[in-house]
Each structure stands twice: as structure tokens, then as C-alpha cells.
Amino acid sequence: MIRQPSTAGNEKGVQQLVSEKLTQLGLEVDIWEPDVKALSKSKFFNSSRSDFDNSPNVVGVLAGTGGGHSIILNGHVDVVPPGDLNTWDEDPYSGRVKDGKVYGRGATDMKGGNAALLIALETIVDMDVQLKGDVIFQSVIEEESGGSGTLSVIEERGYKGDVALLPEPSEMKIFPKQQGSVWFKVKVKGISAHGGTRYEGVSAIDKGIKVYHKLLELEKIRNDRLNDPLYAENPIPIPLNIGQFNGGYFPSAVPDDVEIEGRYGIAPAESIEEAQREFEETLKHLAEDDEWFKEHPVTVEWFGLRLPPGGCDLDHPFLEVLKNSYQSVKNEEPTLAGSTWGTDGGLLTQAGNIPSLIFGPGTTRMAHFSNEYVELDKIFDTAEIITEAILEWCNRSK
């Protein structure tokens, strides 16, 4: 799977592999290209693509006999580009195995997780047990670029499940809550003038720095308010990351505009809309400390990334099942935490109304980095834990 360079728009090769495997295992296989026109009606749609030609979704269903609990296993096959090839020790799509690790773009995020799912499915098929509930395996596109793959599974195909498990790189921690995130762009105005008489202008950089500090204040207020034990160990559970600050056009001129771009974390219990409202309201208060903003209010744009938060209740019965399986395989308590990043789990929870959990073998810090790898032992352990959990969950009567 790693040898298939499945960046956005190039997922066909790996999806072919996946669908062949699912067919081999005897599952009912559904392959389709998402329809931009149909999806764009959803408020969760977020893509700049005009079509999804050559970017098929694949779903395989291991149908139960009925009366049991069903589970969705969701993994994305798209990977982020490898970036500067000089920072890789070898071909980013080598799939090379060395010292118990498999290397390559997507190893940890999240083809290692997808492999664990396929191993679990194969094990269950090989065991020749008959489950009561359905197991719905979703191999999706576009997670890294807005989630249209999973959105299509929900909106166009209507697959439902009692719970969803996504083996994103959690280092085998269980994340019953996951942060959402959106991108923002704040535009700040100034008045240009010659640098030699800079007092005749108003520096947009100066004003932009005030916006910067205001946003950090907002981050503090939001995090002080959050009281979720899953994030107790996290210094900034829902960070507001200011990723870009660009202003001015000439060294000798007073800068008359600044753009500040960043990523705004959404708490698991929040809606994106409510968090956005708080952000916009906060920036309105700038005028209280600086009259400039009264006449020249900043503008806020929400663009690009838009991942709703997701999760399940802490008393959701599948969480107990997964914890027990972990305990049985690893002989220790699993670590529970809240994820610091968004995944397609947010869409499953908010657009699909399906409780979702993250539990996967990957190394978080290797996601999107050069020389990305995943440890083979963790793939196998994850597969074993998921297998046990499925056997327990899908055989439980409703």
C-alpha cells in the first residue's frame, strides 16, 4: 500500500489493491467516485476539487446474521505529499522494512492502521465465525484535504453503524474525543506612507501584533474554561495556532495590510459555528483598546480546513469493549486521551451521527514528516485488539 503514491487525486492504485483484498476475503465490495455536485449541498462539504475522477472510495461489508451491533472501520488512503525529497533517506514510497519498522509516506498516517484493519478482517474470516452485526470497512479518499471521501460514504451511500473506529496514529492510545479544527484568515488594515515619515502612516504590522495578542488571550480563555479529564495532561488542549503572519510590500513603506492565518482548535463538545462566533466576537473587542479598529475593523475569513470535532460518550459500551480487549492483549490498562487533531471521525459523528473513536498503531509525531514509519509490532497488536473487540461487539445482541 505504501508503494502506491496515493496523494490527493492519485488514490486509484491503492484502492485497487484494497478492493482486491476485500473481494478475496469474500466481502461485498462497493466502489465509486464521490460526486462533487451531490456533496456540495452538505454544510460539511469542504473541497476545492471540481471532480473526484480517479479517486474512488471503497467499502467492503462483512454482513452479520442480524440482531447484533455493527461497527464501521474507517481509514483514509490519501497521503500528504513527501515534501523536499532531500530530507528523505530513501524513496518516500519504498515501503522498506528495517528493524521492525516499515518506512514511507503514509506508513503512520495511516496505511499502518488500515493494514491492522485488514489483518483483523482476514483473521475473522479465517476463523470462520459468523457475526451477528455487520462490519463495514471504509477505505476513503481526501481525509487530508477536507474529508469528502468520508462525507460521500455518509451522504451518498448512507452507510450506518453503531460505532466507528478509526486507526489514525494514536500510538495505541484510545481517543474517545477528538478535537476539531478550522483555518482562519484575519485581514488587518493600516495606512501606507513613506518610511522616512512613517508617523504619517499607520502600520498594519503594529495593528496585526495587537490582533496576535488578542487571539492568544482568546486561546487562554477557551482552554481555562475546558475541564475535560481526557485533556488533563495536555498543556493547551484546544490550541489556536497562528501559522502565518504576512504584511507589508516594501522596506521603505509603512505597511498597509497584514494577513494572519492559522488553525483554530474546536473542543469536542463544541460546534464549529459556536467556536467561530466566539472568535469573531473577540476581535470586535479590539476597538475597546484601540480606536483604530473602530474605523477599520479586521475581517475574518474561514477557508480551507474544516474538521468538525467528534467522539463518543465516555460511557459508550464499545469503549468498554475496546478497553477490555486492550487489557486482554497487552496485559495493561490502555491510556485514554483526547486527540489534538481532527480526523474523519468528526464527520462520522457530526454528519453521520455515529459515535467515533480513534485507536491506531502509528507514531503521532511521524505523521507528515520525512522518513515516516510505523512499527510492525504495533500494527499486529492493534489488529489483535481490534479483532477481539469486533468479536465481542458484533456478537452482542441489541
Closest approach, Cβ 130 to its own copies, in A, equals 41
The answer to whether 267 touches 178, Cβ cutoff 8 Å, is: no
If one asks whether residue 183 binds its own copies (CB under 8 A), the answer comes out as yes
Closest approach, Cβ 196 to its own copies, in A, equals 4
109 is catalytic: no
Residue type at position 266: I
H or E element: which one contains 373? strand 373-375
DSSP β-ladder status, 257-266 and 180-189: antiparallel
Which of 78, 144, 219, 384 is catalytic? The answer is: 78
| Angle between the N-to-C axes of helices 12-24 and 112-127, in degrees from 0 to 180, rounded to the nearest 10 | 10
How far, in Å, CA of 242 to CA of 279, rounded?
A: 13
The site string for its own copies over 349-368 (x = CB under 8 A, - otherwise) reads: ------------------xx
**Which is nearer to its own copies, 122 or 206 (by Cβ)?**
206
Q: Exactly one of 54, 65, 87, 246 binds its own copies (CB under 8 A); which one?
A: 246
If one asks whether residue 337 binds its own copies (CB under 8 A), the answer comes out as no
The three grid cell numbers given for residue 279, joined into one nine-digit string: 472568535
Q: For every residue of 282-307, which 3-state class applies, written as one string?
A: HHHCHHHHCCHHHHCCCEEEEEEEEE
Q: Scanning residues 10 to 49, which ones bind its own copies (CB under 8 A)?
A: none
Q: Exactly one of 236, 300, 336, 376 binds its own copies (CB under 8 A); which one?
A: 236
Closest CA to 394 of 163, 177, 168: 163
How far, in Å, CA of 3 to CA of 105, rounded?
A: 9
Q: What distance lies between CA 296 and its chain's CA centroid?
A: 36
Residues in contact with its own copies, total (CB under 8 A)? 45
The site string for its own copies over 258-277 (x = CB under 8 A, - otherwise) reads: x--xxx-x------------
143 is catalytic: yes
**Which is nearer to its own copies, 100 or 243 (by Cβ)?**
243
The site string for its own copies over 198-217 (x = CB under 8 A, - otherwise) reads: xx---x-x--xx--x-----
Query: Measured between alpha carbons, how far apart are the two ends of the chain, in Å?
Result: 36
Q: Exactly one of 13, 95, 297, 304 binds its own copies (CB under 8 A); which one?
A: 304
Please provide the DSSP assignment of 7-51 as one string.
BTT--HHHHHHHHHHHHHTT-EEEEE---HHHHTTSTT-----S-
Closest approach, Cβ 103 to its own copies, in A, equals 20
Beta bridge partners, 165, equal 73, 357
If one asks whether residue 150 binds its own copies (CB under 8 A), the answer comes out as no
Could you tell me which stretch among 7-15, 25-33, 234-242, 316-324 binds its own copies (CB under 8 A)? 234-242
How far, in Å, CA of 360 to CA of 363, rounded?
A: 9
Could you tell me which stretch among 2-10, 35-43, 238-246, 355-363 binds its own copies (CB under 8 A)? 238-246
Which of 30, 134, 143, 384 is catalytic? The answer is: 143
Q: Exactly one of 103, 159, 175, 184 binds its own copies (CB under 8 A); which one?
A: 184
Residues 6+ apart with CB under 8 A from 336: 173, 174, 175, 176, 230, 323
| Angle between the N-to-C axes of helices 204-225 and 272-284, in degrees from 0 to 180, rounded to the nearest 10 | 130
- Please give the C-alpha separations between residue 2 and each of 96, 100, 189, 230, in angstroms, as whole numbers: 9, 16, 46, 32
The answer to whether 246 touches 235, Cβ cutoff 8 Å, is: no
Q: Exactly one of 62, 79, 141, 242 binds its own copies (CB under 8 A); which one?
A: 242
**Which is nearer to its own copies, 240 or 348 (by Cβ)?**
240
Could you tell me which stretch among 43-51, 188-196, 294-302, 314-322 binds its own copies (CB under 8 A)? 188-196
Q: Exactly one of 112, 133, 247, 346 binds its own copies (CB under 8 A); which one?
A: 247
Q: Exactly one of 340, 370, 371, 395 binds its own copies (CB under 8 A); which one?
A: 340
Q: Exactly one of 40, 54, 130, 244 binds its own copies (CB under 8 A); which one?
A: 244
If one asks whether residue 370 binds its own copies (CB under 8 A), the answer comes out as no
Binding site for its own copies (CB under 8 A): 179, 181, 183-184, 194-199, 203, 205, 208-209, 212, 235-236, 239, 241-255, 258, 261-263, 265, 304-305, 339-341, 367-368
> Would you please indicate which residues are annotated as catalytic (active-site) residues?
78, 143
